[in-house]
């Protein structure tokens, strides 16, 4: 079995070799296959076993050997998102709620923290001096005219990342064109590259938004419009992929939280790529990611912990930033930092009490990550409930809330 | 709000009031993203601001185009960081000479609404959420006395500005308590290209300069006590603080 991609999102990705074997002739990534899959996903079930996953090309839940649970993987309107609520400590079983019930599910004195990074148009067309085309997917924010990311050969998101041809060879010092701009290769390490753009900042940003598109994967063939991958509070464009746990947070809900005495605060975390199609690279995901925590957020987090309130992270990028900045279980450093920590079942959060996340099935790496917040058995029950009610595990799908009573 | 160090965005910034507002904000230490349809004139304004030691960036984009909104907001925040001040200044009269409503083509009315009402609404949707989540920001809608008065031949523009005034008031009501202040400002008559297009035979020498009006509007942004959220302010009646 190969290493799974890093599933920050509830995105349909696959454990590749195995999924190929299982999928066989199901779909080839065309739009029709993908759309058909949306209607079928919910009913795809099979008995027995523990592992299931979603196929990147078709978006269909792929039933692995002995799979028990399959979630559908269609897009859900951000106004209609449902959520499985898990209390990791209590004996109460997971239950189904509307996401809009969030203000009622938390308590006055709790703090909700969101990641306000806007999603970059991070998929950029490039060309070598010799005329070979490539794609650069930005893996983080643009700084000082530097574009850092992962290279792919010809093709686009409709081809699964691991099936994309290798990128043309480039070396430091080479001149390339990226998003219509002239750039010099500043560094290359395997398929990771950093390009230094030779134009002023205004022209650089104009070119990025003119030529770039949001990074997306083969399970959805239609291009994602830029607006569709932004949260309702997105600010600076720092994210390579949408911090999607916050997608269903409408202002109705955000203001409802305030009215219920639940504080809402933000940080900015440069959510990176969730998959590169390259085993070695994927095993190291998530890479170190930059974050910035404003004074108000740091203070509210400290006060909330001191009062015995709960700090609820909207998405694992928020968990990563807050935990990276934690000094102890009551205080966090404000300002900038780089999050390097990896979350798994053995990780004991210091600041974050609970989180909102997309839905993930056992076998996905993101499922293991959620195990930092609830026992795996409880999470499996939650996923079974999600399957029973036809919830979607798409990154633009339904949600789960893990919060101790 | 203190202007120093804030990220600001001004639409219609290549000339007239928008240019003057961008220059004023930059002079007070804001990092300013200037938006206009054409890059050429914008670059001249940006170069001028930079020459005086200010920080300014040019973004070519049409606020009336739906697909341009996220790119405008994204470029602006990539360049100046978090936007705390957004001024919806870009606007159009529609075809000039101005026509009676019954002679106004339906498409022309729709186009005026796209530029003066729907475009600012779309941009607000992108920018105001980030302001509200951080708990600070000022949105300014440049209005007109035509939003209130019934001037024959100003129908399309007038309707767009009246609707924008309401958008401003309702946003203020909905964002009450979030730290985001929403203002509508009637700048009064000014010596601008738009004024000349609407009233070609006006005595330009008698008209206030956009720069003088911009000073008042920037004071409104600074002075929350005298310019509370939801207010519709009239620049010529604004008492200048010294």
**Domain range annotation of chain B:** 7-234
Interface test with A, best of B13, B129, B170, B179 (most A CBs within 10 A): B129
Answer whether B174 sits within 8 Å of A296, measured CB to CB. Answer: no
Peptide linkage before B145 cis (omega within 30 of 0): no
Nearest CB partner across the interface for A236, out of B46, B82, B135? B82
Answer whether B77 sits within 8 Å of A118, measured CB to CB. Answer: yes
Which pLDDT does position B28 carry in this prediction?
98
Nearest to residue A289, comparing CAs of A274, A304, A311, A306?
A274
Contact list, A235 vs chain B (CB under 8 Å): 77, 82-83, 130, 133-134
Q: Which residue of B has its CA nearest to A263?
A: B133
Q: Is A259 exposed, middle or buried (0-12, 13-18, 19+ CB in 10 A)?
A: exposed
Query: Hey, which residues of B are catalytic here?
Result: 143, 157, 161
- My answer on whether A245 and A352 are in the same domain is yes
Residue A143 contacts B, CB cutoff 8 Å: no
Answer whether A254 sits within 8 Å of B133, measured CB to CB. Answer: yes
Residue B134 contacts A, CB cutoff 8 Å: yes
Q: Which domain holds residue A131?
A: 121-211
Residue A210 contacts B, CB cutoff 8 Å: yes
Half-sphere exposure of A261 (CA within 13 A, CB side): 9
Rg of chain B on CA atoms, in Å: 17
Which pLDDT does position A381 carry in this prediction?
93
Residue A190 contacts B, CB cutoff 8 Å: no
Which pLDDT does position A6 carry in this prediction?
53
- pLDDT above 80: residue B178: yes
- My answer on whether A128 and A177 are in the same domain is yes
Nearest to residue B33, comparing CAs of B86, B91, B92, B89?
B86
Q: Is A217 exposed, middle or buried (0-12, 13-18, 19+ CB in 10 A)?
A: buried
Mean pLDDT by 10 residues, chain A (405 residues): 43 34 28 30 30 41 49 90 93 93 98 98 98 97 95 92 93 97 96 95 98 93 94 98 97 98 98 90 90 97 96 97 94 95 90 95 84 92 95 92 94
Answer whether B134 sits within 8 Å of A235, measured CB to CB. Answer: yes
Q: Any bridge partners for residue A185, and if so which? A: A195
Which pLDDT does position A361 carry in this prediction?
86
- My answer on whether A377 and A298 are in the same domain is yes
Contact list, A120 vs chain B (CB under 8 Å): 74
Q: Where are the beta strands (DSSP E) in B26-177?
A: 31-36, 55-60, 83-88, 137-142
Residue at token pair 């009315």: B109
Nearest CB partner across the interface for A235, out of B58, B70, B82? B82
- My answer on whether A254 and A305 are in the same domain is yes
- My answer on whether A325 and A383 are in the same domain is yes
Nearest to residue A97, comparing CAs of A393, A394, A320, A389?
A389
Helix (H) or strand (E) holding A251: helix A251-259
Domain B7-234 is of which CATH architecture?
Answer: 3-Layer(aba) Sandwich (3.40)
Contact list, B177 vs chain A (CB under 8 Å): 258
Q: If you ran DSSP here, which 8-state letter would residue B92 be given?
A: -
Residue A189 contacts B, CB cutoff 8 Å: no
Q: If you ran DSSP here, which 8-state letter would residue A24 be given?
A: T
* Structure-token pair, residue A145: 């005219």
- pLDDT above 60: residue B224: yes
- My answer on whether A281 and A391 are in the same domain is yes
Last residue of a domain, one of A183, A211, A239: A211
Answer whether A235 sits within 8 Å of B59, measured CB to CB. Answer: no
Which pLDDT does position A62 carry in this prediction?
39
Contact list, B83 vs chain A (CB under 8 Å): 235
What is the value of pTM for the model shown? 0.89
- pLDDT above 70: residue B123: yes
* Structure-token pair, residue A133: 């085309």
User: N- to C-terminal Cα distance for chain A?
Assistant: 38
* Structure-token pair, residue A52: 């299931």
Is the residue at A65 inside a domain? Answer: no
Is the residue at A176 inside a domain? Answer: yes
Contact list, A121 vs chain B (CB under 8 Å): 71, 74
Residue B81 contacts A, CB cutoff 8 Å: yes
- My answer on whether A281 and A382 are in the same domain is yes
**What is the spatial distance between Cα A333 and Cα A298, in angstroms, rounded to a whole number?**
7
Answer whether A234 sits within 8 Å of B79, measured CB to CB. Answer: no
Shortest Cα distance from A113 to chain B (angstroms)?
A: 10
Answer whether B78 sits within 8 Å of A255, measured CB to CB. Answer: no
Nearest CB partner across the interface for B57, out of A202, A226, A294? A202
Interface test with B, best of A111, A122, A206 (most B CBs within 10 A): A206
- My answer on whether A238 and A101 are in the same domain is yes
What's the domain count of chain A? 2
Is the residue at A263 inside a domain? Answer: yes
How many helices (H) does chain A have, and how many strands (E)?
A: 10, 19
Answer whether B74 sits within 8 Å of A205, measured CB to CB. Answer: yes
Answer whether B134 sits within 8 Å of A120, measured CB to CB. Answer: no
Q: Which residue of A has its CA nearest to B135?
A: A265
- My answer on whether A111 and A189 are in the same domain is no
- My answer on whether A135 and A159 are in the same domain is yes
Answer whether A116 sits within 8 Å of B133, measured CB to CB. Answer: yes
DSSP string, A178-221: ETTEEEEEEEEETTEEEEEE-S-HHHHHHHHHHH-B----TT--
Check: CB of residue B27 under 8 Å from CB of residue B52: yes
- My answer on whether A346 and A326 are in the same domain is yes
CATH of the domain at A174: 2.40.10
Which pLDDT does position A13 carry in this prediction?
41
- pLDDT above 60: residue B57: yes
Q: What are phi and psi of B124, to 5 degrees?
A: -60, -40
List, for residues B30-46, the tens digit of each pLDDT value.
999 999 999 999 999 99
Answer whether A121 sits within 8 Å of B74, measured CB to CB. Answer: yes
Rg of chain A on CA atoms, in Å: 21
Is the residue at A140 inside a domain? Answer: yes
Is the residue at A261 inside a domain? Answer: yes
CATH of the domain at A347: 3.40.1780.10
Is the residue at A253 inside a domain? Answer: yes
Residue B235 contacts A, CB cutoff 8 Å: no
Q: Which residue of A has its CA nearest to B66?
A: A227
Cβ neighbours around B233 below 10 Å, total = 19
User: N- to C-terminal Cα distance for chain B?
Assistant: 17
Shortest Cα distance from A302 to chain B (angstroms)?
A: 17
Interface test with A, best of B14, B58, B130 (most A CBs within 10 A): B130
Which pLDDT does position A23 carry in this prediction?
27
Is the residue at A8 inside a domain? Answer: no
Return the percent helix, strand and coil in chain B, to nearest 5.
50, 15, 35
- pLDDT above 80: residue B79: yes
Is the residue at A294 inside a domain? Answer: yes
């Amino acid at each position: 079995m190969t290493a799974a991609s890093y599933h920050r999102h509830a995105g349909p990705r696959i454990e590749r070799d195995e999924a190929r074997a299982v999928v066989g002739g199901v779909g080839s990534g065309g739009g029709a296959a993908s759309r058909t899959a949306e209607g079928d996903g919910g009913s795809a079930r099979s008995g027995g076993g523990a592992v299931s996953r979603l196929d990147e090309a078709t978006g269909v839940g792929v039933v692995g050997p002995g799979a028990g649970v399959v979630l559908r993987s269609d897009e859900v309107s951000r106004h209609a998102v449902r959520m499985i609520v898990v209390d990791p400590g209590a004996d109460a079983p997971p239950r189904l709620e509307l996401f809009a019930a969030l203000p009622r599910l938390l308590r006055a004195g709790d703090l909700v923290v969101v990641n306000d990074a806007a999603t970059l148009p991070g998929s950029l067309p490039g060309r070598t001096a010799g005329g070979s085309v490539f794609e650069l997917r930005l893996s983080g924010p643009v700084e000082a005219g530097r574009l850092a990311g992962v290279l792919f050969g010809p093709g686009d998101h409709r081809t699964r990342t691991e099936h994309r041809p290798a990128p043309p060879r480039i070396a430091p010092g080479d001149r390339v064109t990226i998003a219509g701009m002239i750039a010099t290769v500043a560094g290359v390490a395997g398929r990771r590259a950093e390009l230094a753009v030779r134009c002023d900042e205004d022209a650089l940003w104009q070119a990025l938004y003119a030529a770039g598109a949001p990074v997306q994967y083969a399970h959805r063939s239609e291009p994602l419009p830029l607006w569709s991958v932004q949260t309702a509070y997105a600010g600076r464009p720092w994210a390579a992929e949408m911090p999607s746990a916050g997608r269903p947070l409408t202002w109705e809900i955000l203001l409802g939280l305030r009215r219920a005495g639940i504080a809402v605060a933000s940080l900015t975390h440069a959510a990176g790529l969730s998959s590169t199609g390259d085993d070695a690279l994927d095993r190291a995901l998530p890479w170190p990611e930059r974050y910035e925590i404003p004074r108000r957020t740091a203070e509210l987090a400290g006060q909330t912990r001191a009062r015995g309130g709960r700090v609820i992270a909207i998405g694992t990028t928020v968990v990563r930033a807050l935990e990276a900045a934690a000094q102890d279980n009551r205080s966090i450093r404000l300002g900038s930092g780089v999050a390097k920590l990896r979350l798994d079942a053995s990780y004991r959060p210091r600041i974050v009490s609970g989180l909102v996340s997309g839905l993930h099935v056992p076998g996905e790496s993101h499922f293991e990550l959620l195990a930092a917040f609830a026992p795996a058995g409880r999470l499996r029950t939650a996923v079974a409930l999600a399957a029973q009610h036809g919830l979607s595990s798409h990154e633009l799908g339904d949600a789960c809330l893990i919060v101790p009573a | 709000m203190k202007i120093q160090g804030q990220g600001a965005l001004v639409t219609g910034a290549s000339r007239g009031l928008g240019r003057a507002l961008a220059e004023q904000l930059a002079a007070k230490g804001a990092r300013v993203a200037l938006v206009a349809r054409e890059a050429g004139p914008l670059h001249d304004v940006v170069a001028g601001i930079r020459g005086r030691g200010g920080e300014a960036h040019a973004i070519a984009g049409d606020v009336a185009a739906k697909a341009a909104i996220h790119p405008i907001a994204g470029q602006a925040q990539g360049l100046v960081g978090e936007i705390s001040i957004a001024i919806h200044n870009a606007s159009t009269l529609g075809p000039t000479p101005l026509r009676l409503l019954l002679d106004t083509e339906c498409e022309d009315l729709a186009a005026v609404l796209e530029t003066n009402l729907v475009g600012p609404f779309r941009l607000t949707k992108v920018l105001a959420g980030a302001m509200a989540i951080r708990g600070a920001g000022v949105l300014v809608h440049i209005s007109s006395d035509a939003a209130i008065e019934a001037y024959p031949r100003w129908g399309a523009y007038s309707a767009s500005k009246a609707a924008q005034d309401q958008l401003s008031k309702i946003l203020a009501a909905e964002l009450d308590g979030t730290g985001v202040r929403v203002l509508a400002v009637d700048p009064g008559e000014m010596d601008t290209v738009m004024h000349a297009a609407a009233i070609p035979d006006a005595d330009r020498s008698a008209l206030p300069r956009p720069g003088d009006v911009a000073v008042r509007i920037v004071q409104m942004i600074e002075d929350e006590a005298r310019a509370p959220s939801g207010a519709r302010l009239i620049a010529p009646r604004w008492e200048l603080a010294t």
